Chains A and B, each alone.
Chain A
């Protein structure tokens, strides 16, 4: 047979328990399709001879000599072979318990999978775990290969028993394999050639099954999702880049960026060395667009059309698998990555650990150990745009980073409503209807030499909040900044005059009005300096409402206390004890510089890294 190397690729992962014969299966596929390079076979045979052992097909795929000594595959390895007009990239994922992360890395890249079960051993814990994880990872196309049929006398009842048991297990999470195939990889039964030993099996061979796997269906028909990857300004063009995760877009489309609610129309689709210049893009493509309005958008936002917006919240429920060296702990902080968004998050609750053996649920754990699967709720520091995994794959899954490493991954199963939901919805409706003049936010920032922001000073009574606010306003204006002290008292007797005494005692409506005023002021390009004085002890609730309403303008939270107390979450500058007000002012200015609101030096051209 001649091997003509074709152009189409398909990524296949082979998973299975250690010793179930993955490498042997691969060796067989290579040999029976004539895909071995000259010299490879001889090289492996020579090494076998040198080490005094019998040649096995498995050795072909164990590229490292050390592995051959151990007889197991250590890491995800890729090999290639051709069959009927298609090139298969085989990701060989090891089944050793401690190497689960490699299997997951391999499977996360795959378009289809072969799941190996040993006929002699039957359905083991590893097989169940692998089946469940494949489903969790989004590999929907797979077949089950029951290997070593020669060792059970090619008996149909053994095969049927395994098929029945495993189908039932997979059915619990709605996974449906394309095929169950009885094989002997060692002897070549039902790999490339139909087995003479098993006339009772009339289904597809392994090779035929591979041929039946489809290239991943294009997600172009779904609503648009383009997570912003980066914004470039290498030349006159300001290009928003990203990979379209779902749907399609074209020049002239009106895009909404979530969670900032920024909107603009696509002016051009940019590309290098493509003639004529493209005017559209679709799912899978890494593209770049320019917009008709110079809005600030940043990495992590999701562009969509206005009719089909992604969810926005600070909490969601998810199924997660943990691979970290140390266990996942409730209330510990992790870095969450959803599409291109990176945000600090905390494990709000661990609802249950899912035992992959029988999918039974263990309640009430405070930790998730390595290689466990759990159902949990995550809470993020700032609002995140996402989708449910059942509707959108790429924007419905996430990873958690613990210290330096990706330590877990999962899929989002449910939006959890947070207490900001109504205000966020108000902000979204208001922003969509916002009437703009000819002067853009960018124009104002360039003219003023700084970006808009809110400096919000929180803390208990008599900690010097008002005094610091006045001092900061004075310093900013003296430095040539455009700053304004928004004092709650001025709202109380004016804008809030229609509120009843009772309403004025509650935080909700007062904070809403206050937040909307701050939103107007930031739109004028001002740095708003403010305190939560009007809200008394409910300052945390008020601060959160203000954040939601002025979003995405940055809020710099300054907390003052008389004693060394733990500052509230999201505090940027914590001041305690008798305060040195000049020092405090300087620290706030530094924070404004760090956040990109102020340029590093007065008169210097500001480099803005945050959107407003």
Chain B
């Protein structure tokens, strides 16, 4: 498991850089496998402590089991949990039938932007991985966002060795991506290796399906799978040629490109 320790060392280094350089730092936690591994790595980096708030942008359409899991871990690990919600959009009846990009933009991108603006966070740690989809493969570990939270992928600052972009003009913020080099298999290997608690929606509970990627209930569909344990998930992933996010409706067409340019996670 040497490669997992190497990935861990790199992520821990990035987390500590983030904590050192950003006074107003927060971590996004969607309760999915990636951001939960990220949360675990924070406990590694800070020796059992999580010295910044965890943000959850609640669309109100999440699968209920995810909220229960969130509240349980927040209690057990003494997390400073901050929940944000675009209440205005929800009051106006926003949902996925208005268009997936429209709904994701309103409830997730804008929900996140409102939360960041309201709390004044200048550093936000996210669990995105390069192998998930094309636009995330272009990310830096420390990725600047402008005053509107937008991402200029054409003009990204250089990132050399272990030196990251930690200074930025007022009004802008930096997205920090400690999991960029991890693959989906690495995530599951690490969950097993460290025995990290995860939501059982990722496992087949007898009906021959499981979730491979978790999002909002209406826009996430389970995959056909009989993987009932982490070992079986890893074995399945070693042989699959199906894209991880194939069950995520927002990825269709140029959905993710449009979303991420405007500041989607």
Residues of A within 8 A of B (CB): 2-5, 7-9, 11, 36-40, 63-65, 74-80, 87, 89, 101-102, 104-105, 108-109, 137, 229-230, 232, 234-235, 237, 239, 241, 243, 270-273, 284-286, 288, 299, 323, 335, 337, 339, 394, 397, 399, 401, 403-407, 409
Contact = CB atoms under 8 A, between A and B. Distances in A.
Contact of A230 (B16, B44, B159): B16
A286 B49 contact: no
A18 to B, nearest CB: 15
Contacts of A409: 158, 160-161, 163
Interface stretch (B22-30, B55-63, B87-95, B241-249): B241-249
B131 interface: yes
Contact of B9 (A137, A243, A406): A243
B185 interface: yes
16 contacts: A4-B238, A37-B242, A63-B137, A64-B138, A64-B153, A78-B130, A78-B180, A108-B161, A239-B47, A273-B44, A286-B9, A394-B161, A394-B162, A405-B167, A406-B157, A406-B165
A64 B257 contact: yes
B181 A89 contact: yes
Nearest to B12: A286
A394 B156 CA distance: 23
A38 B243 contact: yes
Contacts of B19: 230
A115 B50 CA distance: 43
B20 interface: yes
B47 A406 contact: no
Nearest 7 interchain pairs by C-beta: A63-B134, A286-B12, A101-B158, A78-B130, A234-B49, A5-B238, A409-B160
B45 A286 contact: yes
B239 A3 contact: yes
B16 A404 contact: no
B180 to A, nearest CB: 8
Nearest to B40: A273
Contacts of B48: 234-235, 272
A129 to B, nearest CB: 15
B69 interface: no
Nearest to B180: A78
Most buried by A among B12, B131, B181, B242: B12
Contacts of B169: 404
Given A108-B160, A405-B165, A63 B237 contact: no
Contacts of A137: 160
Nearest to A245: B162
Interface in B108-134: 130-131, 133-134
Given A7-B3, A75-B138, A286-B13, A39 B161 contact: no
Nearest to A65: B254
Interface string B195-234: 0000000000000000000000000000000000000000
A87 B182 CA distance: 11
Contacts of B12: 286
Contact of B137 (A38, A77, A234): A77
Contacts of A105: 140, 156, 158-160
Contacts of B181: 9, 11, 89
Given A37-B243, A77-B137, A406-B160, A237 B13 contact: no
A11 B51 CA distance: 32
Contact of B162 (A74, A243, A271): A243
Contact of B44 (A2, A76, A272, A337): A272
Given A243-B162, A406-B159, 5 more contacts: A37-B241, A77-B138, A229-B17, A243-B9, A401-B167
A87 B43 contact: no
Contacts of A407: 158
A404 B167 contact: yes
Given A234-B46, A286-B9, A337-B163, A5 B243 contact: no
B194 interface: yes
A229 B13 contact: yes
Contacts of B7: 9
Nearest to B49: A234
Interface string B136-147: 011010000000
Among A2, A109, A137, A406, find the residue whose CB has the most chain B CB atoms closer than 10 A: A406
B237 A5 contact: yes
A11 to B, nearest CB: 8
Contact of A75 (B8, B153, B162, B183): B153
B263 to A, nearest CB: 16
Contacts of A74: 138, 153-154
A288 B47 contact: yes
Nearest to B17: A229
Contact of B49 (A64, A230, A235, A284): A235
Nearest to A104: B158
B39 to A, nearest CB: 12
A268 B265 CA distance: 39
A394 B160 CA distance: 11
Contacts of B47: 232, 234-235, 237, 239, 270-272, 288
Contacts of A339: 162
A237 B17 CA distance: 20
A40 B186 CA distance: 22
Contacts of B97: none
B135 interface: yes
B162 A323 contact: no
A3 B44 CA distance: 33
Nearest to A338: B163
In this complex, the member of B4, B160, B194 whose beta carbon has the largest number of chain A beta carbons within 10 angstroms is B160
A215 to B, nearest CB: 9
B16 A286 contact: yes
A63 B161 contact: no
B3 A9 contact: yes
B243 A108 contact: no
Nearest to B256: A63
B242 A38 contact: yes
A78 B153 contact: no
Contacts of B194: 273
Contact of B185 (A7, A109, A243, A403): A7
A2 to B, nearest CB: 7
Contacts of A3: 239, 241
A283 B194 CA distance: 22
A399 B142 CA distance: 15
A101 B16 CA distance: 25
A382 B186 CA distance: 43
A430 B19 CA distance: 35
Nearest to B196: A273
A40 B160 CA distance: 31
Given A64-B134, A237-B47, A272-B48, A229 B20 contact: yes
A285 B9 contact: yes
A9 B161 CA distance: 18
A75 B159 contact: no
B163 A405 contact: no
A65 B256 CA distance: 11
A8 B3 contact: yes
A80 to B, nearest CB: 5
A42 to B, nearest CB: 11
B74 to A, nearest CB: 18
A57 to B, nearest CB: 16
Nearest to B41: A272
B165 to A, nearest CB: 6
B150 interface: no
A102 B160 contact: no
Contacts of A79: 131, 137
Contacts of B262: none
Nearest to A409: B160
Given A230-B20, A404-B167, A80 B161 contact: no
B45, B49, B161, B165: residue with the most chain A Cβ atoms closer than 10 Å: B161
Contacts of A271: 44, 47
